[in-house]
């Protein structure tokens, strides 16, 4: 059945609550209002004791989620915009990510944090940032970014079953995109990249929203493009990415996040460290705050024309 990204997340949450008794939802407006973007709509009616509206304090509610996870629950925390993870950094980075190590493996923190991420909706500079690379830098955190409705539901289920803290960055510009999604419960494995489209001339490694842009580009060029979606940013499935790089001989990495100190640089470095010696480039967001003006905002991340021009240049390189 065809479902939007949001509908798939909502269905996944409902089925998780139905099948995993230790699970519960918490966050600002996740109850009656149905979540910042509607992902939890209708759930409080069927699970009144397990869908909890919270005060506006990301630090506090991340601490609550961490503590309850230590006591055997599997909390699913919604942070309305990933920008607000900055308020929860201490609890997330210094507590949730460290407890398994500090306890010599005796304790775990099986919690999930969902956060709407990225630009493309006119939400301006404080509600449009891409911080996935920040958290990929932290040992003890799993970081995923599903690029479509199918993966969004499946990776959410896998995240809730995982015994580590998992951050799920959901590109909010994709919330209304739709595709066939199974009605039954299923998992998309954490730590496994996906070849979205096979090709032979150039590999595009695209994260999040950039997967759809890459597919558009592939349809507009005679160049045979292979598209690979890492899905999981940490731990990174470098084997799949490197295999595609060796197959095509050229690599272009696309991120919505800025390139400076970004995950694209890490992917590039790891591919080179596997022995890859072909042309390799990366495109990402401009190093500036996201604009509220739609025309400016759309030009701040890699565009189809920019990607096509870069591919054209790469095809001339030996």
What is d(CA 197, CA 228) in angstroms, rounded to the nearest whole number? 7
The domain that holds 25 is classified in CATH as 3.40.50.970
Average pLDDT value for the chain: 95
**CATH code of 246's domain:** 3.40.50.920
At 305 the three-state DSSP class reads helix
Q: Is residue 188 part of a domain?
A: no
Instruction: Tell me: do 137 and 285 sit in the same domain.
Output: no
Domain that holds residue 47: 2-180
CA distances for 75 relative to 70, 82, 161, 168, 184, angstroms: 10, 17, 11, 13, 22
The answer to whether position 187 is within a domain reads no
Q: Are residues 200 and 173 in the same domain?
A: no
Does 29 map to a domain? Answer: yes
Say yes or no: 133 and 221 in one domain: no
Q: What percent of the chain lies above the pLDDT cut of 70?
A: 100
Q: Are 80 and 134 within one domain?
A: yes
Name the pTM for this structure.
Answer: 0.95
Residue 215 tokens, joined: 């597919």
Rounded Cα distance, 240 and 53, in Å: 40
Q: Is 251 helix (H, G, I), strand (E, B) or coil?
A: strand
> pLDDT band for position 291 (50/70/90)?
confident
Residue 186 within a domain: no
Q: How confident is the model at residue 299 (pLDDT cuts 50, 70, 90)?
A: confident
pLDDT score of 296: 87
Looking at the fold, whether 19 and 67 belong to one and the same domain comes out as yes
Return the active site residues.
127
Within-domain flag for 121: yes
- For 19-58, letters b (16+ CB in 10 Å) and e give eeeebbbbbbebbeebbbbebbbebbeebeebbbebeeeb
Q: How many residues does the chain have?
A: 318
């Amino acid at each position: 059945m065809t479902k939007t990204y949001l509908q798939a997340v909502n269905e996944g949450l409902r089925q998780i609550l139905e099948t995993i008794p230790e699970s519960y939802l918490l966050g600002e407006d996740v109850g009656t209002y149905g979540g910042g973007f509607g992902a939890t709509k209708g759930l409080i009616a069927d699970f009144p004791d397990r869908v909890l509206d919270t005060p506006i304090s990301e630090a506090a509610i991340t601490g609550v989620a961490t503590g309850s996870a230590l006591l055997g629950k599997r909390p699913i925390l919604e942070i309305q915009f990933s920008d607000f993870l900055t308020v929860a950094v201490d609890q997330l980075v210094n507590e949730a990510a460290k407890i398994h190590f500090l306890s010599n493996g005796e304790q775990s923190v099986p919690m999930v944090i969902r956060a709407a991420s990225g630009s493309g909706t006119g939400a301006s500079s404080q509600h449009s940032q891409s911080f996935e690379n920040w958290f990929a830098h932290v040992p003890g955190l799993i970081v995923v970014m599903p690029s479509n409705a199918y993966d969004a539901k499946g990776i959410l289920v896998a995240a809730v079953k995982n015994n580590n803290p998992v951050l799920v960055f959901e590109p909010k510009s994709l919330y209304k995109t739709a595709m066939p999604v199974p009605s039954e419960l299923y998992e998309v494995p954490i730590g496994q990249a996906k070849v979205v489209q096979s090709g032979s001339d150039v590999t595009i490694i695209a994260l999040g929203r950039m997967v759809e842009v890459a597919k558009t580009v592939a349809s507009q060029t005679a160049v045979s493009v292979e598209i690979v979606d890492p899905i999981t940013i940490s731990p990174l499935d470098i084997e799949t990415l490197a295999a595609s790089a060796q197959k095509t001989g050229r690599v272009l990495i696309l991120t919505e996040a800025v390139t400076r100190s970004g995950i694209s640089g890490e992917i590039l470095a790891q591919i080179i460290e596997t022995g890859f010696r072909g042309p390799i480039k990366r495109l990402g967001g401009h190093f500036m705050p996201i604009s509220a003006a739609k025309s400016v905002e759309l030009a701040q991340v890699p565009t189809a024309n920019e990607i096509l021009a870069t591919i054209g240049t790469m095809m001339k390189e030996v």
